Amino acid sequence: MFEHPDFDDHEMVAWFQDPGSGLRGVIALHSTALGPAMGGCRLWSYASDADALGDALRLSRGMSLKNAMAELPLGGGKSVIIGPVAGPCRAAAFEAFGAAVDRLGGAYVTAEDVGVGVADMQAVARATRHVSGLAGTETAPGGDPSPFTARGVLRGMQAAAEVAFGSPDLRGRRVAVQGVGHVGAALCGLLADAGATLVLADADAARARQVAARTGAEVADPGAILAVPADIVSPCALGGTLSAPVAEVLQAPVVAGAANNQLATPDIAPRLAARGILYAPDYVINAGGIIAVGAEYLGGETRADVLAKVDAIGPRLAGLFAEAAARGESPALSADRAAATRLAAAR
């Protein structure tokens, strides 16, 4: 693990398993300098255990940066469950995962990520209290983080539109959304309400058609969505989709989406900047979900407080865009510097 290319002085990495339910996975704690390491649990069928470890290492580091930038009293952690998990064993597997989380005594707090829903977190909660994303109410934050993530992405898009087009108004702007799962579908709804014209794609064609029917969107080929003519491209599927070849064929002047770890390699950020494409750093724009589940776990905040914090993602990004422009660097670099400064001050 110490030789792994994605190892970044993580504080702790713990593998867990439960033979009864077939559960296997890994929890990575990147940093607890700012508070308990919080970040979702991903269920994914990895080609190898090394791939699962790499994902956990990258995602947990991203959570440290995300939580620091969102000014949360939380460190960065993430867990991955190596899928598939057999349907009848699912609740037992998540309960066993909860027991693994509990063994860490609160150093790690879990919630939903790709492949994991509220019912899974409710199973986790039978074994530990260090879990969030369980259920919200009219006034209290909580439950599925995706709508909060989508709202934050919308605010980030508006901030980016102000820089790129001179107005935050998305009316008539053509937005291309890659991946219309929990976040992407919610985002499409918000964008349609804001008057944007949508083109979307999903690896699951039926899902793409469903969301398109609800939002009046055009459906594109998943292989071509990032290169369609558009004002804004929004990666909302898995990470790594902004590769070097994609960076050359992108036509939209703005990239603003929810996916974690969008840049396949760090050198993509300056390439986009060199092409005049404004990239909203992923871990800044997609913090709405962790803001909500963090508030649910920590307590003491109303739903209105949480929405105000999610809306603050817009001004935060505007500040980063201004700093990047003043320094002649990519917004990703400005964000990395700001997050590293906050983490270093807390150590």
Binding residues vs ligand NAI (CB under 6 A)? 113-115, 145-146, 149, 178-184, 201-204, 207, 222, 236-239, 258-260, 286, 289
Q: How far is the CB of 184 from ligand NAI (least distance, A)?
A: 6
Residue 52's contacts (CB-CB under 8 Å, 6 or more residues apart) are 25, 26, 44, 46, 80, 82
- For residue 223, with 0-12 CB atoms within 10 Å meaning exposed, 13-18 middle and 19 or more buried, which class applies? exposed
Smallest separation (angstroms) from ligand NAI to the CB of 48: 19
Bond preceding residue 84 cis, omega within 30 of 0: yes
Residue 280's φ and ψ, nearest 5 degrees, are -85, 115
The CB-nearest residue to ligand NAI is 181
Shortest separation between residue 326's beta carbon and ligand NAI, angstroms? 28
- Tokens encoding 101: 């989380």
Q: Which is nearer to ligand NAI, 21 or 178 (CB)?
A: 178
Helix (H) / strand (E) containing 232: strand 232-235
Whether 309 sits among the annotated catalytic residues: the reply is: no
Identity of the residue, 152 or 331, whose beta carbon is nearer to ligand NAI in the bound complex: 152
Please report how close the Cβ of residue 241 comes to ligand NAI at its closest, in angstroms: 6
User: 78, 130, 173, 182: which one is catalytic?
Assistant: 78
Q: What is the spatial distance between Cα 109 and Cα 102, in angstroms, rounded to a whole number?
A: 9
Taking Cα atoms as reference points, which of 92, 117, 125, 113 lies closest to residue 27?
A: 113
Measured from the CB atom, is 40 or 98 closer to ligand NAI? 40
Is residue 22 packed enough to be buried (19+ CB in 10 Å), middle (13-18) or exposed (0-12)?
middle
Nearer to ligand NAI, 101 or 180 (CB): 180
Rounded least distance, CB 248 to ligand NAI, Å: 18
3-state secondary structure of 324: helix
Closest CA to 161 of 147, 175, 179, 180: 175
Nearer to ligand NAI, 252 or 329 (CB): 252
Whole-number Å distance between alpha carbons of 197 and 222: 18
Numbers of helices and strands, H then E, in the chain: 13, 12
Tracing tokens 């036509």 back to the chain, one arrives at: 251
Contact 82, 45 (CB under 8 A): yes
CB of 278 to ligand NAI, least distance (A): 19
**Residues labelled as active-site residues:** 78
